[in-house]
Chains A and B, each alone.
Chain A
Amino acid sequence: MFVLVEMVDTVRIPPWQFERKLNDSIAEELNKKLANKVVYNVGLCICLFDITKLEDAYVFPGDGASHTKVHFRYVVFHPFLDEILIGKIKGCSPEGVHVSLGFFDDILIPPESLQQPAKFDEAEQVWVWEYETEEGAHDLYMDTGEEIRFRVVDESFVDTSPTGPSSAEATSSSEELPKKEAPYTLVVSIMSPNWMDTQGKAIHCFHGSTTGPTRPNTGRGARHMAALLTGAGDGVHARPVVLHDGTRATFHCEDTRHL
């Protein structure tokens, strides 16, 4: 999920900081400039890793500050394709389920990547997985605050740097606030596509809370899944594990207590 990126930039140190060690001033400036910001096509910058090279510092006429070209490495959040991550559900909308990692929020599970069959409950604004076992259908809700494991499928970078003065057509609708877009979005999935080919079954690994879903009519089937996935053991003695692909299948797990 984290990558080290080599970057080069020129850092300006104002004269009143000349008494400090150059490396410290530069590190502080770089962190001030990049930490918690998204660099286009690179990722979300976390913090400075190290400075690899400092070139000569120049003072230009008219400006008392020194300018130093710095080669450095920065820790950047940029998960690779197909990476598995664990996050918390932040909320649901008709666009899909929004997941957050705490330090990074713009993760979306589009409806087609949810376990099928899934439907959006308008009243409660939550996505529901209609899960069938021998006992009947159970609804598993994607509740806010639940942990969820997902696979990165796609990412998109949007350049949100300010543009120049807008053209005549745009100024007519100037009452609208400019639409704010997230500069870096991850599109993820909780279905495993390769599983569908080899076995005709899909496996879903999403964690529930340690006490299991508290919704009504979840019943034993849902508690089976919750206990299986969290290993909390919570008084559930389920042994069968269910793989679900729209048809029913069972898979026996030797010992659910170690999950």
Chain B
Amino acid sequence: GGRKRWRRSVRLRVCWRAEATTRGRHGSVFQLLTDLKEQRKESGKNKHNSGQQNLNTITYETLKYISKTPCRHQSPEIVREFLTAMKSHKLTKAEKLQLLNHRPMTAVEIQLIVEESEERLTEEQIEALLHTVTSILPAGPEAEQKKNTDDVTMDEEDPA
């Protein structure tokens, strides 16, 4: 369901040169879009004129997407702490970025993110990595919800 949005592709005609410089973490994009939303709410007017509709749409949808991930609670300090802790693990930039964006909680997820993980990481290293990730990076909304239900049902013993 839902209407299909056909996006026009836009070509910048007057001398443009685009190079991908830095990879943006979901957390920093979340921060940027939240600030933008605040800023535009304050300035009040002209939020609804047709020119701004596209910006409204994409901002809303992207914020909605990222707010369901663990990245919404990340701050620059947390990221710095995480990257310092990661130095010993010898991972590529792309792998560290994905660890930040996904906050894996299982060995299976680590093995998907890290290329050739069987050769590069032992089981203990995977466990250590998981521990670093889950202890430094804040949990996402789904994990928090699960944690709450876990706390509630802790006293009941599930028969295995």
The interface of chain A, by Cβ under 8 A from chain B, is: 1-10, 28, 31-40, 42, 44-47, 49, 73, 75-78, 80, 82-84, 86, 90, 101-103, 105, 144, 149, 151, 157-161, 180, 182-184, 192, 194, 198-199, 203, 205, 231-233, 235, 237, 239, 241, 253, 257-259
B contacts with A, residue count (CB < 8 A) = 61
- The reply to whether A1 and B17 form a contact with Cβ atoms under 8 Å apart is no
- The reply to whether B159 and A237 form a contact with Cβ atoms under 8 Å apart is yes
Across the interface, which residues of B come within 8 angstroms of A90, CB to CB?
A: 2
A45 to B10, CA, bound (A): 10
- The reply to whether B29 and A75 form a contact with Cβ atoms under 8 Å apart is yes
Partner of B58, one of A47, A144, A151, A259: A47
Across the interface, which residues of A come within 8 angstroms of B109, CB to CB?
A: 205
Q: How far is the CB of A31 from chain B (nearest CB, A)?
A: 5
- The reply to whether A5 and B146 form a contact with Cβ atoms under 8 Å apart is no
Q: What are the nearest 6 A-B pairs in CB distance? A: A103-B61, A183-B9, A2-B24, A36-B58, A36-B54, A32-B51
A101 to B64, CA, bound (A): 10
The interface of chain B, by Cβ under 8 A from chain A, is: 1-2, 4-12, 14-26, 29, 32-33, 36, 51-52, 54-55, 57-59, 61-62, 64-65, 69, 94, 98, 101-102, 105-106, 108-109, 111-113, 115-116, 118-119, 146, 149-150, 158-160
26 contacting pairs across A/B (C-beta < 8 A): A2-B23, A3-B21, A4-B22, A5-B19, A7-B16, A31-B52, A32-B54, A35-B59, A37-B54, A40-B9, A44-B58, A45-B58, A46-B29, A46-B62, A73-B21, A83-B94, A103-B64, A144-B1, A149-B112, A159-B11, A183-B9, A198-B116, A205-B108, A233-B146, A257-B150, A259-B105
